[in-house]
């Protein structure tokens, strides 16, 4: 899977993409992440990628031309999708992540400032929001999508069954059963005896029961 991310703040991604599962997935060549600085495609000498909105109003609006040129510079693979990260998009959920994980390439366009020139929407395949709130830019949503999709790729997680049992993995409102580890007793809070029994059938039944309780709450 290849991720191409269009942004005006490329350094934001340096730390997150060099840690944990994302770092390992890159090392094992399960994913490739390319960061594209939109400023490199600005026409003027000052590398301006935003301007005041026509008709007046507060804030600055990202220009269509540098984003269009940046998109055109990216070599598209078969089964690729261009996604605009915007509060106006559909909410990102696990079923969407599963569908995106079937592709060969995701091209993520990060917004910033007041928003996009409306004409940018003509050059994307889909619009996604990571929640009903406003962020400074699309960089954090891009990290969320890369992380969620990468976890679903074969070989990305150490245990092949991990992704199958995680919260939201079976259905949208599925909440995973509780987890415990050492010590067995912490401040009089004890691990349920069934998890210490070694009886896998009873453990599976307990987990199923507690998954149902949390899901219906």
* Tens-digit pLDDT profile for residues 195-204: 999 999 999 9
Residue ranges of alpha helices (H) inside 82-125 are 94-100
Select the CATH number that applies to the domain covering 175-216 from these four: 3.40.50.720, 3.40.228.10, 1.10.1270.20, 3.30.420.10. Answer: 1.10.1270.20
Round to whole Å and give the CA distance between 196 and 183.
12
* Tens-digit pLDDT profile for residues 42-97: 988 889 999 998 998 888 999 999 999 999 999 999 999 999 999 999 999 999 99
Q: What is residue 166's predicted lDDT score, i.e. its pLDDT?
A: 55
Residues forming CATH 3.40.1280.10 domain(s) in the chain? 2-150
The predicted model gives 182-206 an average pLDDT of 95
Residues forming CATH 1.10.1270.20 domain(s) in the chain? 175-216
- Beta carbons within 8 Å of 26's beta carbon, 6+ residues apart: 17, 32, 33
> Strand 115-116 relative to strand 105-110: parallel, antiparallel, unpaired?
unpaired
Given this structure, which CATH class describes domain 2-150? alpha beta
In terms of pLDDT, which residue wins out, 128 or 114? 128
Cα atoms in the 13 Å half-sphere on the side-chain side of 204: 3
Which token pair is 36? 């594209």
Share of the chain above pLDDT 70, in %: 90
Round to whole Å and give the CA distance between 74 and 69.
9
As a whole number, the mean pLDDT across the chain is: 90
Round to whole Å and give the CA distance between 104 and 76.
9
| Cβ–Cβ under 8 Å, residues 7 and 110 | yes
User: pTM for the full model?
Assistant: 0.84
């Amino acid at each position: 899977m290849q991720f191409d991310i269009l942004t005006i703040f490329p350094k934001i991604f340096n730390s997150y993409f060099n840690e944990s599962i994302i770092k390992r997935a890159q090392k094992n060549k399960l994913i490739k992440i390319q960061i594209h600085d939109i400023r490199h495609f600005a026409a003027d000498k000052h590398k301006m990628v935003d301007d005041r909105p026509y008709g007046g109003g507060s804030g600055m609006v990202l220009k269509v031309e540098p984003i269009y040129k940046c998109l055109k510079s990216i070599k598209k693979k078969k089964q690729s999708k261009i996604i605009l990260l915007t509060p106006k998009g559909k909410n990102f959920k696990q079923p969407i992540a599963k569908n995106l994980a079937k592709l060969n390439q995701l091209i993520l366009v990060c917004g910033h400032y007041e928003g996009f020139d409306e004409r940018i929407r003509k050059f994307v395949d889909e619009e996604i929001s990571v929640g009903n709130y406003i962020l400074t830019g699309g960089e954090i949503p891009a990290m969320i999508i890369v992380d969620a999709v990468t976890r679903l790729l074969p070989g990305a997680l150490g245990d092949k069954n991990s992704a199958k049992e995680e919260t939201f993995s079976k259905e949208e409102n599925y909440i995973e059963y509780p987890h415990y580890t050492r010590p067995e007793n912490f401040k009089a809070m004890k691990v349920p005896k069934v998890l210490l029994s070694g009886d896998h059938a009873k453990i599976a039944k307990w987990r199923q029961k507690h998954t149902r309780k949390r899901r219906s709450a």
